[in-house]
Amino acid sequence: MTTEPDSLIRELHAPSVWPRSAVHAPGGDVSLAGVSLAELAAHHGTPVYVLDETEVRSRARAWRAALPDAEVVYAAKAFVCRAVVDWMAEEGLGLDVCSAGELELAATRGFPPERLVLHGNAKSPRDLGTALRLGVGRIVIDADSEIARIAAQVPPRTAQKVLVRVLPGIEAGAHPKVRTGAEGQKFGLSIANGDAEDAVVRVLGQPGLDLAGLHCHLGSQIASAEPYGEAVRRLVAFLARIRDRHGVTLSELDLGGGFAAAYLPGDPAPPPVAYGRRITDELTRSCAEFGFPLPRLTVEPGRSIMASAGVALYRVLSVKRTGGQVFVAVDGGMSDNPRPALYGARYTVRMVGRTTTAPMRATTVVGRHCEAGDVLAQDVELPEDVRPGDILAVPASGAYQVSMASGYNMTGRPPVVAVSGGRARLLLRRETFEDQRGRDVGV
């Protein structure tokens, strides 16, 4: 077997794993949007993250097409920088933000504040103050204690639109650590035990708050549209109960995000239209059943827009063959991608930049950090002659990697390069020792 088996060709052209612009290039290379990955690694050093701008934009457009009457709000926590804020503004999406920092970044780009949604289970005074100063479109109330805190900061004779985040009691998500719609965890207010209804009543009693509707978020990596249909059914029933008991017809329903992206070839990752069809069908049916007017719908895709648009590049530092296993250590790891260590995320890996006729064998790609759990990919097929200096490419790396990167071991967070139309441009430069030293103000 060579490094170009049929299975690898299929993998490279799987649009759900690699960007659709990815093609084979001479010398065992892969090009993205007409730009050589091996050349990007040589020019920018490694680790480096490559983001296909056209792929990001096309996936954003797919969500708008799937739900043309809904508001599509990009979940900035997946990955955000100035360029991404601009792309989302140009594609007509809103931004879902979770901190004053993300709010300020959006403001520096002139992003329309009415298209900003702030949420989080523990908003700081700075978060709320910044949101109110900028005039964000929605603040999502996640706890009883936030109601009075927000209301107290709203300027006189004005009202801040808010949503109440509720727990619909639905188990969904690829791992227990990313399931956020079930009972008994830190997010939201329970419909089942009455907390959500109590919060609604309290918000309605605050003249400085304008309760626009409900918010929920089921979890992450949800590879079926069915949980969203069930969430719609339960939330419309709750909206009808609020109307019947309190005489208020709320006009907005935000279903959050969590839509799956493929990390391995064959992973289930329904297209936006599949989620959109199930959501709109159930919304129509449930509203008819309860005699409730169709609310304005919002969804918050992040991973499904960004993950498959990104490719991480690493350089091999060492190869160790021991106990019948092969460990290939690279110059990154859990400092730039903590997902495998956090919740067992899995990836595929491909060598780029040289050809070989060596057979393929199962290999474990590990990081450079001092934990046995610093494993980037287990049991991936790499050439048996993989050696120090080789470049490894990891697709589906656009979401929740750079955004969760740390300063562990002072290795410096990696740069991000955007590619489009045969050209590359730097979006985020590599973090240097000088950047880190500037924070150290001790003796």
Helix (H, G, I), strand (E, B) or coil at 141: strand
In a domain, 35, yes or no: yes
User: Which listed residue (81, 216, 287, 370) is catalytic?
Assistant: 370
Binding residue per annotation — 388? no
Given CA atoms 438, 441, 442, 443 in this order, what sign does their dihedral have? Answer: positive
Task: Give catalytic status of residue 216 as yes or no.
Answer: no
Q: What is the pLDDT of residues 336-375, one digit of tens each?
A: 999 999 989 999 999 999 999 999 999 999 999 999 999 9
In a domain, 1, yes or no: no
As a whole-number percent, the residues of the chain with pLDDT over 70 amount to 93
Binding residue per annotation — 400? yes
Q: Is the pLDDT of residue 2 over 50?
A: no
Say what the pLDDT of residue 12 is. 56
In a domain, 15, yes or no: yes
pLDDT band at 13 (very low <50, low <70, confident <90, very high): low
pLDDT band at 46 (very low <50, low <70, confident <90, very high): very high
Whether residues 24 and 86 share a domain: the answer is: no
Q: How many domains does the chain have?
A: 2
In Å, what is the CA distance from 232 to each residue of 27, 242, 400, 433? 51, 15, 27, 49
Q: Is the pLDDT of residue 130 over 60?
A: yes
Whether residues 107 and 233 share a domain: the answer is: yes
Tell me, what CATH number does 406's domain have? 2.40.37.10
Any residues with CB less than 8 A from the CB of 441 and at least 6 apart, and which? none
Q: Among the three residues 257, 286, 304, which one is the final residue of a domain in this structure? A: 304
Whether residues 288 and 368 share a domain: the answer is: no
In the structure encoding, which two tokens stand for residue 187, read together? Answer: 């997010």
Helix (H, G, I), strand (E, B) or coil at 438: helix
Say what the pLDDT of residue 169 is. 81
Whether residues 230 and 312 share a domain: the answer is: no
Overall size of the chain counted in residues: 443
Backbone angles phi, psi at 89, to 5 degrees: -60, -45
In Å, what is the CA distance from 421 to each residue of 52, 136, 418, 424? 10, 35, 10, 8
Binding residue per annotation — 384? no
Binding residue per annotation — 197? no
Whether residues 112 and 250 share a domain: the answer is: yes
Helix (H, G, I), strand (E, B) or coil at 263: coil
Q: Among the three residues 275, 304, 333, which one is the final residue of a domain in this structure? A: 304
* Unique residue bearing structure tokens 């934990």: 371
Binding residue per annotation — 289? no
Q: What is the pLDDT of residues 222-252, one digit of tens each?
A: 999 999 999 999 999 999 999 999 999 999 9
Say what the pLDDT of residue 187 is. 79
Q: Among the three residues 253, 278, 304, which one is the final residue of a domain in this structure? A: 304
Whether residues 37 and 81 share a domain: the answer is: no
Binding residue per annotation — 275? no
Q: What is the pLDDT of residues 145-154, one digit of tens each?
A: 999 999 999 9
Binding residue per annotation — 431? no
In a domain, 126, yes or no: yes
Q: What is the pLDDT of residues 273-290, one digit of tens each?
A: 999 999 999 999 999 999
Task: Tell me how far apart the alpha carbons of residues 272 and 305 are, in angstroms, rounded to a whole number.
Answer: 10
In a domain, 93, yes or no: yes
Q: Is the pLDDT of residue 99 over 70?
A: yes
Q: Is the pLDDT of residue 5 over 70?
A: no
Q: What is the pLDDT of residues 386-417, one digit of tens each?
A: 999 999 999 999 999 999 999 999 999 999 99
pLDDT band at 220 (very low <50, low <70, confident <90, very high): confident
Task: Tell me how far apart the alpha carbons of residues 308 and 261 are, in angstroms, rounded to a whole number.
Answer: 7
DSSP string, 202-234: HHHT-TTEEEEEEE---BS-B--SHHHHHHHHH
In Å, what is the CA distance from 426 to each residue of 44, 224, 393, 416, 417? 9, 36, 18, 6, 4
Whether residues 298 and 382 share a domain: the answer is: no
Q: Determine the structural domain holding residue 259 and report its residue range.
A: 53-304
Whether residues 112 and 153 share a domain: the answer is: yes
Whether residues 149 and 292 share a domain: the answer is: yes
Helix (H, G, I), strand (E, B) or coil at 130: helix
